[in-house]
Structure 1
Amino acid sequence: MTKLHKRRGPLALVALGLAAMLTLSACSGDAGPDGAPGQPGSTDAQQTAATSAKLTVQPADGARDVAPADAAQVSIADGELQAVTLTNPDGKQVAGRLAEDKHSWTVAEPLGYGKTYTWSGTAVGADGKQSTINGSFTTVNPRRQVAASLNVGDNQTYGIAMPITVSFGTKVTDKAAVEHALTVETTPKTEGSWAWVSDTSAHWRPKDYWQPNTQVKVTANLYGRKIGEGIYGKQDVAASFSIGRSQIVKGDTRTHRMQVIRDGVQIADYPVSYGLDSDPGRVTHSGVHVVMSKHATYSMNNPRYNYFDVNVPWAVRISNNGEFIHGLAESMWAQGKQNISHGCLNLSPARAREYYDGALVGDPVEITGSTQTLSAKDGDYSDWTYSWAEWTKLSALAS
């Protein structure tokens, strides 16, 4: 199952409003003849060397509608922090981390929504003068909290074309800020990119198919982060999964055949009946499809062509436009000879079962030869319809 949790560890440093700047000491000099401060070059004025150390508190005193994902930190430019405390409304101290050089203190646990937090503590400048840390701020009270979802789960194994998707169920207004909170870690290292395929969904795919046996961890640190107007993340989500063996289906609608290639070796060559190419509503699309789900039986419905509740065995969905690889005994006479289906790849029930048993969600299915081409509108897993240059331009962080 996908992990759901609030963020742990330091929050990223983001400036929020005006920082509270406290001068620990100031320059002074002897009075001049008229009681004015001494000026350089005056015979009776002496300038005293001093240090101007500055204390920065973020969020600033009085800040309101602070996003919990934003910074909560105290830092000093010239001196040391002696003690820093951030207290919640119940009087409990918030966990924090003091840097080894004592130049900064950072919150180390998630802040709550709609709460007022109070700073206290002391710092000393390089000149030995002490300053008091104080002030308070209030976090935002969201109009709505949204839980994002992942399409991958812990300890699962997927095919080499598997995309990663983070779905929000609401419009994301600051895609760049949200994308900064999304990470993908891989072993071995894999080049890839996030892309916003819609206002509500970000996808990550590798530049090329995954290497077999790659280990992947995806993390979306969304708790406390602004997603839309008045809408904030409800929790973080994460999952760790594996990429399995390499398996690629190659099909050509003109030859009425479908080959299964596993780890570079062809393990099957099936006779197939593809979609009727002369009807744009029934044609099987050319392009890179991706296995989306598997069903031992599936009920097919197509009101446009007047059929309902047609149950087929060993159905493997490969797009959201109604294309499956499945068994159909009634079309065995045409399999390997003629394309008569309504877009699906028809196999005999026995061959469909054999393919079904070896298929993984995320396997690529590469179809060629038809008059219609798969496009981004044909489903959630149509990420491979984009060239790499097109894909990277869809990142909110693209320069």
Structure 2
Amino acid sequence: MSGSRLRLWWTALAGVLAAVLLISGCGSPPPDSPKPTEAKVAFEPGDGAAEVNPAAPVRATVDRGRFTSVALTNADGKQVAGELSPDGRSWRATEALGYGKTYTWSGQAISDDGKLVPVRGSFTTLKPKQTIRATINPTDNAVVGIAMPISIKFDKPVQDKAAIQRALTVRTSVPVEGAWAWLSDRQVDWRPKEYWPAHTHVSVLAKLYGLAYGGGSYGLADLSTEFDIGRAQIVKAAVGTHRMVVIRDGREVANYAASYGEEYDPGRNTPNGTFIIMEKKPVEIMDNPRYGYHDVRKTWAARFSNHGEFIHENQENAAALGKVNNSHGCINLSAADAKEYYDSALIGDPVEVTGSASSMPPQYDVYDWLLTWDQWKAKSAI
């Protein structure tokens, strides 16, 4: 083939290829038209879920849309309190649910392109074998002494003490070292390592509702309290001195003539130990069948042990006050001194008894301060 013919052939081929490319480019099909997008509703817990913990988070969300209405209703038709987000794309329950109940979703969502989607679904919460009630002390707004423990008591024994302890929080207005200790399978207390600093504000939260206690038992309700520690007042009860001294904020404010328990009868000793004022009564009726007295009326009584010890008036024993220890274990004061001390005392004030022939075993409620710090920490479940 001559050179001129070859050039003509390549020129023709190039023209054909260009035409094919032009046709191909101009003939591309148009892009697909946008397809409608449907709003997608999701639930937490999921639709049909069973054995749901009633304290777990409950939410409904919508993707590619927003809720125009949404409600969660129990079997009695009562709506659960909830909150819709500002953009309308999520809703959450703002109250805990009940045990052993069925909840149903209802409402409507609208997709971003205007298509309506119904909100439908349901779930069931767990039904415990039993629920266990708890109480907390001190109660809200109390003002208590510097030895006051925080005490949570359960109306039935609990098994999973570690889980319960992890649900307990103590916050203080100043740093305070302290720890929880299980005094029985129905009681857990928190006490500071040393006495509370005066005027500390304390907040306690126990997230117990929905908490598994073990053996099919669950917490009945959350607990909380806020209270204050008052001034720092300590009773120094040195048995051998026949005096009871009151120290307030580091200064001696009272020094009373007293009579303690009979020293030579262990059953009548005022025992050694650090106790707290547990209750105060203007009149206390006392009985002790072992020693032959019944319905004895004493005034200005401040209990510091469930073994039976009080600080109280005993005007009938005036001759012994400041001289002889002859009570049945209580700290006897004159009527005037007992009234003055009674008026000054707070629940939770420490009473430090020393110099006695016997000591109190750590078994009577409240015995928190009869344990060393190491013994106390050993009673923690975690």
Is the counterpart of residue 267 in structure 1 residue 247 in structure 2? no
Aligned equivalent of 1:279, options 265, 273, 278: 265
* Structure number with bigger Rg: 2
- The CA distance in 1 between the partners of 2:175 and 2:275, in whole Å, is 25
| Distance apart, 1:80 and its partner CA | 9.5
Q: For residue 117 of structure 1, what is the amino acid of its counterpart?
A: Y
Matches for 1:192-271 after TM superposition, within 5 Å: 192-227=178-213, 229-271=215-257
- The CA distance in 2 between the partners of 1:146 and 1:325, in whole Å, is 36
Aligned equivalent of 1:95, options 76, 82, 96: 82
Is the counterpart of residue 362 in structure 1 residue 348 in structure 2? yes
Q: For residue 236 of structure 2, what is the amino acid of its counterpart?
A: K
- The CA distance in 1 between the partners of 2:284 and 2:378, in whole Å, is 37
Equivalent residue for 2:372? 387
Equivalent residue for 1:165? 151
Aligned equivalent of 1:375, options 343, 350, 361: 361
| Distance apart, 1:395 and its partner CA | 2.1
| Distance apart, 1:386 and its partner CA | 1.6
Query: What TM-score do the two structures reach when normalised by structure 2?
Result: 0.76
**Percent of aligned pairs with the same residue?**
47
Query: What TM-score do the two structures reach when normalised by structure 1?
Result: 0.73
| Distance apart, 1:242 and its partner CA | 1.1
**Local SS of the residue matching 2:319:** coil
- The CA distance in 2 between the partners of 1:91 and 1:155, in whole Å, is 34
- The CA distance in 2 between the partners of 1:284 and 1:276, in whole Å, is 8
CA change 1:303–1:70 in 2 (3 A) is farther
**Local SS of the residue matching 1:141:** coil
How many residues are treated as equivalent by the alignment? 332
Equivalent residue for 2:94? 108
**Local SS of the residue matching 1:377:** coil
Cα RMSD after superposing both structures = 3.2
- The CA distance in 1 between the partners of 2:215 and 2:44, in whole Å, is 23
| Distance apart, 1:192 and its partner CA | 1.7
**Local SS of the residue matching 2:336:** helix
Equivalent residue for 1:117? 103
- The CA distance in 2 between the partners of 1:267 and 1:248, in whole Å, is 10
Q: Quick check: 1:181–1:220 contact (8 Å CA) kept in 2?
A: yes
Q: Quick check: 1:272–1:336 contact (8 Å CA) kept in 2?
A: yes
Q: Quick check: 1:288–1:374 contact (8 Å CA) kept in 2?
A: no
Q: Quick check: 1:88–1:94 contact (8 Å CA) kept in 2?
A: no
Aligned equivalent of 1:182, options 152, 168, 174: 168
Q: Quick check: 1:85–1:93 contact (8 Å CA) kept in 2?
A: no
Q: For residue 221 of structure 1, what is the amino acid of its counterpart?
A: K
| Distance apart, 1:296 and its partner CA | 0.7
- The CA distance in 2 between the partners of 1:231 and 1:82, in whole Å, is 40
Equivalent residue for 2:281? 295
Q: Which runs of 5+ in 1 are unaligned?
A: 1-54, 123-131
Equivalent residue for 2:322? 336
| Distance apart, 1:186 and its partner CA | 1.4
Structure 1 window deviating more from structure 2 (171-180 vs 204-213): it is: 171-180
